[in-house]
Amino acid sequence: MLRDIERYLTCPHCALGLVLDAAGRTLRCPGGHAFDVAKQGYVSLLPGDAHTGTGDTAEMVAARADFLAAGHYAPIAGALAAAAAEAAPDGGDGLVVDLGAGTGYYLAAVLDALPGAVGAALDLSKFALRRAAKAHPRAGAVVCDAWRPLPLATGSAQLLLNVFAPRDGAEIHRVLRPGGQLLLVTPTTRHLGELVGALGLLAVDEEKDRRVAEKLSPHLEPLGGQQVEFALRLDHRDAAAVVGMGPNAWHTDRAALAAALGALPEPVTVTGSVRVAAYRRRD
């Protein structure tokens, strides 16, 4: 809930701290700025000139929620939870931030592994955060833009998650406390490979890991990682969902997708392949 994380939140206009009123309906800062909590439990801390056009649509979020609820990406959630428990062996004592949290699926898994922590689900999509606000009893949901200053106090997070989402190394460094870690999940070139060619999907750049490391290295020290690979058996509906819940949704013609799916066996066996990497904040 927002009450759990209010002490970490800051105003997007003046960067002063925010306080939730007794009714839990409005966040206010000493500078006089106020932000109403939506009835679904999330709050928007976007500045007035922000644009949300690149946020996930309601349809994309629904596809993701159905796909994740079916357990297809449970190996990723499990690997993240294990990495979080290793990063905070005492069970956590502060804030876990999920940057690009979507529905809050991965944040919930990590909070279950860290009983002493609270979580902030950050995303640009209000449709995603309607679900993230209810994903875990110790999590609050906030609309913000990953490419702008995050509405969080400097040095407030013990752990930051970033799963298939945009990231700004400098801002992650600012938000992490000394010794804090980033847990980063990125797809390998094998991820969903059987669907990429058959359905004409976007392929993962072979240089992705190198480019990510270069951008993060001035701010974060790599600690290592692991490749998590697993087999998915998807019916055509789930295959359509995995296409419709990510960037491919913006580039795929529905009729062409339906035709291509119809040519695939059912179920179709697909490779899930990601890298889970840990980074520590550079002092």
pTM of the complete model beyond 0.85: yes
Element (H, E) at 162: strand 157-163
Domain annotation covers residue 3: no
Question: Which range (11-20, 28-37, 81-90, 190-199) has the least confidence?
Answer: 190-199
Residues in the chain: 283
Q: What is the pLDDT of residue 200?
A: 79
Whether the pLDDT of residue 196 is over 90: the answer is: no
Q: Work out the pLDDT band at 152, boundaries 50, 70, 90.
A: very high
How many alpha carbons fall within 13 Å on the CB side of residue 24? 10
Element (H, E) at 200: none
Q: What is the pLDDT of residues 261-278, one digit of tens each?
A: 888 888 999 999 999 999
Dihedral over Cα of 133, 134, 136, 138: its sign: positive
Pairing between strand 34-36 and 43-44?
unpaired
Tell me what percent of the residues of the chain surpass a pLDDT of 90: 77
Specify the 3-state DSSP secondary structure of 97: strand
Q: What is the pLDDT of residues 91-131, one digit of tens each?
A: 888 999 999 999 999 999 999 999 999 999 999 999 999 99
Q: Which of 69, 78, 280 is nearest to 176 (CA)?
A: 280
Cα 256 from Cα 160, distance rounded (Å):
38
Alpha carbon distances (Å) from 31 to 4, 14, 17, 204, 214: 22, 7, 9, 45, 38
The more confidently predicted of residues 167 and 258 is: 167
Q: Are 25 and 36 in contact (CB under 8 A)?
A: yes
By residue range, what is the domain housing residue 130?
42-281
Element (H, E) at 78: helix 74-87
Cα 247 from Cα 68, distance rounded (Å):
16
Q: What is the pLDDT of residue 13?
A: 95
Q: What is the pLDDT of residue 91?
A: 86
The strand pairing partners of 186, in sequence order, are: 275
Q: What is the pLDDT of residue 27?
A: 97
Radius of gyration of the chain (CA): 19
Cα 82 from Cα 76, distance rounded (Å):
10
Domain annotation covers residue 195: yes
Section 170-190 average pLDDT = 96
The more confidently predicted of residues 135 and 249 is: 135
Q: What is the pLDDT of residues 61-99, one digit of tens each?
A: 999 999 999 999 999 999 999 999 999 988 888 999 999
What is the tally of structural domains in the chain? 1
Cα 29 from Cα 11, distance rounded (Å):
6
Q: What is the pLDDT of residue 56?
A: 87
Dihedral over Cα of 60, 13, 176, 221: its sign: positive
Domain annotation covers residue 71: yes
Q: Are 73 and 109 in contact (CB under 8 A)?
A: no
Alpha carbon distances (Å) from 3 to 7, 16, 175: 8, 17, 19
Q: Which of 250, 99, 102 is nearest to 176 (CA)?
A: 99
Domain annotation covers residue 52: yes
Q: What is the pLDDT of residue 55?
A: 81
Q: What is the pLDDT of residues 31-49, one digit of tens each?
A: 999 999 999 999 999 987 7
Domain annotation covers residue 19: no
Element (H, E) at 99: strand 95-99
Domain annotation covers residue 33: no
Strand order in the sheet with 19-20: 19-20, 26-28, 34-36
Q: What is the pLDDT of residue 16?
A: 97
Domain annotation covers residue 161: yes
Q: What is the pLDDT of residues 205-222, one digit of tens each?
A: 788 888 988 999 999 999
Arithmetic mean of pLDDT over the chain: 93
Q: Work out the pLDDT band at 259, boundaries 50, 70, 90.
A: confident
Q: What is the pLDDT of residue 92?
A: 85
Q: What is the pLDDT of residue 206?
A: 81
Identify the CATH number of the domain in which residue 250 sits.
3.40.50.150
Q: What is the pLDDT of residue 261?
A: 85
**Count of CB atoms situated within 10 Å of the CB of 34:** 12
Contacts of residue 266, Cβ cutoff 8 Å, sequence gap at least 6: 235, 236
